[in-house]
Amino acid sequence: MIEELESISRPSEKKGRKVFPALCSVFGTLILLGVIAAFLPLTVPRLMGYEIYEVVSGSMEPEIPVGSVIYVKAAEPDMVETGDIIAFQKDGSVITHRVEENHYVEGEFVTKGDANREEDMEPVPYESLIGKVERHIPVLGIIMTLLASNTGKLYAVLLAVCGVMFHMLAGILRDRERD
């Protein structure tokens, strides 16, 4: 009888005991989903055959700003047309420029960065072609660099652990309420 009177006199206290575990569970889920969402644009395209690169120079601005991520799909050189944006290897670096001309007989491309006044000095041999740029996402390159670093990976793991710990806390609080 006394317990019933106490529960009637403090209904908000019992309600609070149910809300806090639910909030912990929701918060933990949001953290875990955030960690997963951060890595999706960097992993799923690779499974679909794309190479992913960060743009570090302004030669393709304003079309592709510095800090963007580009998704490059392998392509046959004879399928590349004037106006396509390609990625190619040059002196150990990956360069992204627009094709001005495709010289099929010579097996080379004449390229130019959109922000550059003149065409590139040297033609790009077909062997250097990585592929055509299919998509680009501004700012994602900066995030990709952060996540790819050891510090970024550590933060991602720590956030995931926090998300799991919030779920564990919610379970403990629910178990205490049942007792």
Task: Give me the domain span that covers residue 62.
Answer: 48-138
Quick check: is 174 in a domain? yes
155 and 133 assigned to the same domain: no
59 and 133 assigned to the same domain: yes
Quick check: is 133 in a domain? yes
* Tens of each residue's pLDDT in the chain, 179 residues: 445 545 554 555 555 567 888 898 999 999 999 999 888 888 888 889 999 999 999 999 999 999 999 999 999 999 999 999 999 999 999 999 999 999 999 999 999 999 999 999 999 999 999 999 999 999 888 888 888 889 998 999 999 999 999 989 998 888 887 76
79 and 98 assigned to the same domain: yes
64 and 122 assigned to the same domain: yes
118 and 58 assigned to the same domain: yes
**Rg over CA atoms, the chain:** 27
63 and 97 assigned to the same domain: yes
Domain count along the chain: 2
Quick check: is 7 in a domain? no
Quick check: is 6 in a domain? no
pLDDT for the residue numbered 147: 84
Quick check: is 12 in a domain? no
58 and 114 assigned to the same domain: yes
34 and 100 assigned to the same domain: no
The predicted model scores a pTM of 0.73
Quick check: is 15 in a domain? no
Write the CB contacts of 42 (distance below 8 Å, at least 6 apart in sequence).
Answer: 52, 69, 144, 147, 148
53 and 133 assigned to the same domain: yes
pLDDT for the residue numbered 15: 56
Quick check: is 37 in a domain? yes
CATH number, residue 62:
2.10.109.10
